[in-house]
Structure 1
Amino acid sequence: MLTDVKRKIIFLVEDNWGDIRLIQEALKGSAVDYEVAIARDGVEAMACLRGEGDQPAVLPDLILLDLNLPRKDGREVLAEIKADPRLKRIPVVVLTTSRNDDDIIKSYDLHVNCYISKSRNLSELFKIVRGIEAFWLETVTLPPRQS
């Protein structure tokens, strides 16, 4: 049985414009047909995911979540995503500079799917992002996106 192949959506929740540009650059040339939706803080992220305001909900295939966000931090965002029946199956990869054991433990306690510390080395960061993309968008069978 053939399935309808839809364009994948990566939802990047990141406040650092430089990191946003680097992650987008690392994803260029991907074999996967995807688009990147971006939220710059936790409040904006949850509004996008829930379709609050005038916007329809962004229901991505994968969420890349920074922990240290303004207005609502990534831990709060993660907790809200995993507590929401409509959002909880979306894989969330924490992609952050924090290597703090408490952040790692708290993220897994909140049911993050994967915790990755960002490298400040450009080639290493590109390798990490391409690895995330290859695993989560090419290898893994994701749950179907709900409308």
Structure 2
Amino acid sequence: MAENQRVILLVEDDPDHEVLTIRALRKSNIVNEIKVAHDGEEAIAMLFGDGENAIPTPQVILLDLKLPKIEGLEVLRRIRESEKTRMLPVVILTSSDEESDIVRSYKLGVNSYIRKPVNFSEFAEATRQLGMYWLVLNECPPNSN
């Protein structure tokens, strides 16, 4: 996989939101491989494991907050604690608009907080813009792997 084609890690437990996010990214001509973790524990295993679940260092992590097993804010905390993942771009992509979630996310070092729009065309446009910025315009730190 070329450096500019690094993997996207989508951490999403809702199958409908997973499908919509992937569809919106593909519709925006984002061709990066998309790996999906369905809960926080699986996300941690993909990022830090050395077994069959481990993935290459992602270019961006799209992280939902309300997750089973390990909540999204705890996943974010662990990402920022590790030297291996500390500088990875993490975008919270959630339906939560609670001020406390927004504040805690930024205190833990999130790069961006995006509330999922309810309507599909708005969701698709938000995802297109997200993809264009984080996967095309943004300069990522060098891959440490």
Give the TM-score normalised by structure 2: 0.93
Which residue number in structure 1 is paired with residue 11 of structure 2? 13
Which residue number in structure 2 is paired with residue 39 of structure 1? 37
Give the TM-score normalised by structure 1: 0.92
Which runs of 5 or more residues in structure 1 are unaligned?
A: none
**1:52: Cα distance to partner?**
4.0
Which residue number in structure 1 is paired with residue 68 of structure 2? 70
Q: Does 1:132 align with 2:134?
A: no
Of 87, 90, 114, 2:88 maps to 90
**1:57: Cα distance to partner?**
3.6
Query: Which residues in structure 2 correspond to 1:95-106 (within 5 Å)?
Result: 95-106=93-104
Q: Secondary structure at the match of 1:80?
A: helix
Distance 1:144 1:29 in 2: 28
CA contact (8 A) 2:80 2:108 kept: yes
Q: Secondary structure at the match of 1:64?
A: strand
Q: Secondary structure at the match of 2:128?
A: helix
Counterpart residue type for residue 109 of structure 2: H
Q: Does 1:115 align with 2:113?
A: yes
Distance 2:29 2:83 in 1: 31
Residue deviations 1:65-123 (CA, integer Å, cap 9, x gap): 00000000000000000011000111000000000000000000000000000011100
**1:8: Cα distance to partner?**
2.3
Distance 1:136 1:54 in 2: 27
Counterpart residue type for residue 142 of structure 2: P
CA contact (8 A) 2:9 2:35 kept: yes
CA contact (8 A) 1:99 1:117 kept: yes
**1:145: Cα distance to partner?**
1.9
Of 59, 62, 65, 2:57 maps to 59
Q: Secondary structure at the match of 1:21?
A: helix
**1:54: Cα distance to partner?**
3.2
**1:144: Cα distance to partner?**
1.9
Distance 1:53 1:39 in 2: 15
Q: 1:114 to 1:42 in 2, by over 3 A?
A: same
Aligned pair count reads 144
Distance 1:75 1:56 in 2: 20
Q: Secondary structure at the match of 2:33?
A: strand
